[in-house]
Amino acid sequence: MRMRKKKHLEERLEACAPVMLKMQNQNEHANDPLDDELFFDSMKVFGNNNPLHLEVGCGKGKFTAETAQANPDVLLIAVERCREAMVVAMERVIGEGLKNVFFIDADAALLPELFAPGEVDRLYINFCDPWPKSNQKKRRLTHGNFLKKYRQVLKGGGQIHFKTDNDKLFDWSVEEIPQFGFTLSDVTRDLHAGGPVGVMTDYEAKFYTEGKSINRCVATMVDWTEPEAADRGEA
């Protein structure tokens, strides 16, 4: 379902400019040869090498704001392509005075064009669209095509923290993820069975009050060589 267009969206986005990063590779440099100067560099931008965590799809920003607040020594960047949702998250962050969280208006498929290899320590994927039809599976954020892109920006040993309420997506994902050089841990199909665990998203808090089970796992990147097409059974 498409989000309703927010009133005065452009004006609100402009007011949030202090927390919105404009990446060179989003525009005229997108097809340039690999050049370190075109990638995000936390040392140049913020003057430190604090751990960098990405959130792919931040929604209205409850998880974003609370995670940043709980981890002041971590730089959190939310990558969100829906500007109607992102503006709410940015206003939330600004309202709470947080200084370690920023936003990029982009699609997850562009991550390797925005961040240098090995730049990211952790990546969060929370309650993404399950794309339930078989002909939609390549759109799932846990599909191998996306996993290979995450590998390009994650450090060795970097992690993906994945949460969803969709059981079928979770079942599919825990089969898909290890095939692309990740080991799974902390796999649970009822994260909050013993009470609330960690920071919740807006959706998650709603699901918790309704008694709906939440699936979660952690995927840690390990050395991996992509098989040849013949080894994968491709023509």
- The residues carrying an active-site annotation are 129
Within 96-185, residue ranges assigned H as helices are: 111-114, 144-153, 167-176
Q: How many other C-beta atoms lie within 10 A of the C-beta of residue 74?
A: 16
Classified as helix, coil or strand, 75 is strand
Structure-token pair, residue 124: 């969060």
Q: Are 38 and 25 in contact (CB under 8 A)?
A: yes
Structure-token pair, residue 50: 């604090």
Phi and psi torsions of 5, nearest 5°: -65, 130
Which stretches does DSSP call E strand in 24-94?
52-56, 75-80
